[in-house]
Each structure stands twice: as C-alpha cells, then as structure tokens.
Structure 1
Amino acid sequence: MIRFDKVVKRFGDLTVLRELDFHVRPGERVTLIGPSGSGKTTILRLLMTLERVTSGTIDVDGQCLSHTKRGDRLVPADERHLRRIRKKIGMVFQQFNLFPNMNVLRNITEAPVRSLGVPREQAEEKAHELLEMVGLADKALEHPSRLSGGQQQRVAIARALAMEPEVLLLDEVTSALDPELVSGVQDLLRDIAHRGDLTLLCVTHEMRFAKDISHRVLMFDQGRIVEDGPPEQIFSEPTHQRTREFLQAVLDA
C-alpha cells in the first residue's frame, strides 16, 4: 500500500531522510518510533504531500505519489494528481486542527461534501454514525471551543474516517492531551486499528500503545531505519544498540 524507494528529504543543508526504503502492506499496522528529529513525522508529511521529496519516489496503492510519467521519464506530479492520490489517505495530527467557526457536524462533513462530492444528507448521516462510534453522539452541534482536548481529538479522528481513507496516518495524536485524557483516545484508536482492513502508519512515543496496535515497529535514527520487527521482538529483545538506548531512555522517563 505504501512504498518508499530511496527517498531523500533535505531542508537546506539538513538531510532528514537518507535514501529511505520501506513499505507497508495493505491492512498492515506499522508504528515508527525513535528520537525527536529522526525523520518520523517527515514521512507522514510527505505522504500527505505537505512536503515534497528531494529525490526518490513514493508509491501509494501502486501509484506514484510524488511523480507522474511523461514518456520514459518521471516528472514531479501536478496538484491534480496529488489530490487524487491524497484522497486515499487520512491523517490525524498532534494538534486537532478543527475549524473553530464550524460546529462538530460541519467539521466532519465539509471535506466529504467538497472534496468527494458526497451529498450533504449522506455525509451528515455518516458523520452521526462516526460520532456515535467515538462517543460524541450528543456533541454534533457544539463548536470545538466548547469541547475538551480529548473530545476535540475524537472529532479529528471521526473527520479523518469520514473520508473513508485506505490509509490512516497518526502523528503523536495524544501528545497534546492532558494525561488523564490519553487512555480514552488510545482505547478508541485500538478499536479502530483492530477492525476492518485499514492500513495504519503511526508515529508515537507511547510504547505500550505501539506494542498493542502494531504488526511491525520501525526504529528510526538520523533519517534511517536501524531496526524493523514485530513489537514482541522490538520491545523485548531489540538487536540494535541504538534501539536499546532509546527504549531505556523512554521507558525510564
């Protein structure tokens, strides 16, 4: 479903990703761990086309995301192509990024109506189903300012799912929450992860959460994957010294 082929990403003189190769199979749940600045969130931003690759290619569902073919050569993709591929992908950010001037219902329905052409009545019916699923059935007409942080993040999750993505990206989705709100959002995401065939790519510093939801865990350091394996192996018997150092620091914190 996702394939990075020798992807390099630079910001000026800073190289964030160094000829990165990795893949995520359809329906697979993969979590990226590692120190801040190791390139994890950059991967999600590239998939959302919020950043462009410096070199290399990214495929989503067998189609090149960053480039299109023109004759025998690859050229940077235009905005129309990016929008078409991006419809397959949903993302939940650290910050909730809800529209403050819209109520919860419109926050969830606006993108399906405007981007996918879903009739508003159908979009609202789906939104109410999602609000029921995330435990906010009674908040449809509230504005974000009247919701707690945990409730806003639940709305953000419902908004991402309303687009019926094939791939869901999670970027430190509990890092902005008060500690007592974290477990509720994580429980919701566990339920979502274990139902259906949604492909999931997650960045988190919550190691227990990573262990619970993942088929595979990738340890990143300085723009490279230093270890890749099932969570039981990564968290119990990591083979790379850098992984052991990182986990010791995080788990002892």
Structure 2
Amino acid sequence: MSVEVDTKTEDTKTKELIRFEKVTKRFGDNTVLDGLDFSVDSGKHVTLIGPSGSGKTTILRMLMTLAEPDEGTITVAGEQLFPAGEKQIREVRKKIGMVFQQFNLFPNMSVLRNITEAPVTVLGLSKDEAEARARELLDLVGLADKCDERPSRLSGGQQQRVAIARALAMRPQVLLLDEVTSALDPELVAGVLDVLRDIARTTDITMLCVTHEMNFARDISDQVLMFDSGRVIEAGSPEKIFNDPEHDRTREFLSAVL
C-alpha cells in the first residue's frame, strides 16, 4: 500500500531541505561537532555512519531542538531553526518527525490515540481526519488490527512500528531515524527495517538515518556520510562507500562492522 506523505510543495522538490553551516557543539571540554557543514536535499535518504561518539545522534537531537549548537546555523526548508526565536523554532520543528531508539509511546493511551493525539492537538486536525490518517498508517506498518490495543500488549517490534506511524502522522517533511532497531530483540529487527524500506520506496519523505545496520543503509540510502570526531570525513553513494571507500578510517570502521 502506498500512503501519500505531504512532504513538500512543487517548487521545493529538488531543493535543499536541511543545511548545517559551521555548526559546533561542545559538551564540556568535548567537541562533539566541529564546524560541521552538510546538507540534505528534499526527497533524499541520507544515512550517517561512524563510530559511537562521532556526533551522529547529536545532529538528530539538534534538528529535534533537543540540543542547541554552540556556533553556526541550522536551516530547514529555507527557514532558520538555530539561531531563532522560540516561535519560529516551534514552527520549523513541525516539519520534522523522529523515531527514537526507545519507543516513548503513551502507556495509558490506545495505539490509535498514540498516533492521533499530536495531529489533533498540534496540527489542529479533526478527530475523524486524524483517525482516518492513523488507520492508513497502521495499515502501512502492518498493524491495522491493533488500533485498540495498549502499547504494553505489543511486542517491541510492534511498538516501534507504532512509533514510526506516529511520526508520519504529523506529515513531516523529514523523518529522523535514530538507531531505531537497537532496543529490539534480534528476531524483531527485520520486520521494522522492512517497514522502513517500504516507506522509503513508496513515499517522497526525506529521511536522515543513524544506524549500525549496514545492509539497511546500503538498501535505502541515496547518500552515506561517514563521521569521525565530529566531522564528515567521506561522503558518497552506498556503492562507493561500502565497496570502494577512499578514507582509511572508513575502511577501518567498515571492516569492524561488516
């Protein structure tokens, strides 16, 4: 099933969606991002790879406004996210959805209400419109029969698929994926990755993904960025990065994880 994702207007389809310019982020004496410059075009699927602590998740956290850069600017869909006033940050933030390592579902709400709550309260959708959208998305992620269940009655893989549907229900222009299978039992990983592959294949949504699942990165990515010590040290197509990397650090990292 193909579910339409309202991600962009006609004149933004080939344009840059995300831009980091000279972004630096420090935690105490530790510089996590060091003058980072990179961009993501609308409709593209970009995967960030590299060792733990190289700054990948910090990028996603800043796009979610869970962390602020110490220096530099971040722009989303032509609007500045940082630095910006609180009102503008809230408006730009609506363009971004994220699926976390942990599912973060509301335990006291049904699956359906977990997905409809934010579209109703934040976007102002009617309950009927939000529920129709939620049911479409639950069908997309293979959980059409779980609308009335509570999260505690679902497996970890099912909960993560609900979290994916919840993120998509906000009609974001970009979907951020932060190691979305790392908290799952190994036998549940394939099902979640298959759902994400289907979303990548059947929608126009822009995806920015942090993962250690290299086969998944190879399958869905238009571009792969190799991070080390807060910088992009190599970027290219999946074929180039995985089959013929140029940087010694990239080769060393891939030899350890493949």
Question: What is the TM-score of this pair, normalised by structure 1?
Answer: 0.95
Equivalent position of 2:167 in the other structure: 160
Which whole-Å CA distance do the structure 2 matches of 1:122 and 1:196 have between them? 20
- Which residue among 220, 228, 231 is the counterpart of 1:221? 228
Equivalent position of 1:93 in the other structure: 100
Deviation at residue 78 of structure 1 after TM alignment: 2.5
Which whole-Å CA distance do the structure 2 matches of 1:165 and 1:207 have between them? 25
Equivalent position of 2:20 in the other structure: 4
Amino acid at match of 1:148: S
Equivalent position of 2:146 in the other structure: 139
Which whole-Å CA distance do the structure 1 matches of 2:45 and 2:144 have between them? 28
Q: In the alignment, is residue 198 of structure 1 matched against residue 205 of structure 2?
A: yes
Equivalent position of 2:12 in the other structure: none
Q: In the alignment, is residue 37 of structure 1 matched against residue 37 of structure 2?
A: no
Q: RMSD of the TM alignment (CA)?
A: 0.7
Cα-to-partner distance string for 1:22-73 (whole Å, 9 max, x where unaligned): 0001111100000000000000000000001100000001111112xxxxxx
Q: In the alignment, is residue 188 of structure 1 matched against residue 204 of structure 2?
A: no
- Which residue among 164, 175, 180 is the counterpart of 1:173? 180
Deviation at residue 195 of structure 1 after TM alignment: 1.8
Cα-to-partner distance string for 1:130-159 (whole Å, 9 max, x where unaligned): 111111111111111000000000000000
Equivalent position of 1:20 in the other structure: 36
1:65 alignment partner, SS class = strand
Structure 2 spans left out of the alignment, 5+ residues: 1-16
Deviation at residue 82 of structure 1 after TM alignment: 1.1
Deviation at residue 14 of structure 1 after TM alignment: 1.0
Deviation at residue 79 of structure 1 after TM alignment: 2.2
Post-superposition, which runs of at least 4 consecutive aligned residues in structure 1 deviate over 2 A? none
Cα-to-partner distance string for 1:174-199 (whole Å, 9 max, x where unaligned): 11111111111101100101123211
Q: In the alignment, is residue 59 of structure 1 matched against residue 75 of structure 2?
A: yes
Cα-to-partner distance string for 1:197-246 (whole Å, 9 max, x where unaligned): 21110000000000000000000001001100000010001000000000
1:2 alignment partner, SS class = strand
- Which residue among 106, 115, 122 is the counterpart of 1:108? 115
Which whole-Å CA distance do the structure 1 matches of 2:177 and 2:132 have between them? 25
Which whole-Å CA distance do the structure 1 matches of 2:191 and 2:146 have between them? 17
Equivalent position of 2:257 in the other structure: 250
Equivalent position of 1:208 in the other structure: 215
How many percent of aligned residue pairs carry the same amino acid?
71
> How many aligned residue pairs are there?
242
Question: What is the TM-score of this pair, normalised by structure 2?
Answer: 0.93
Equivalent position of 2:8 in the other structure: none
Amino acid at match of 2:179: E
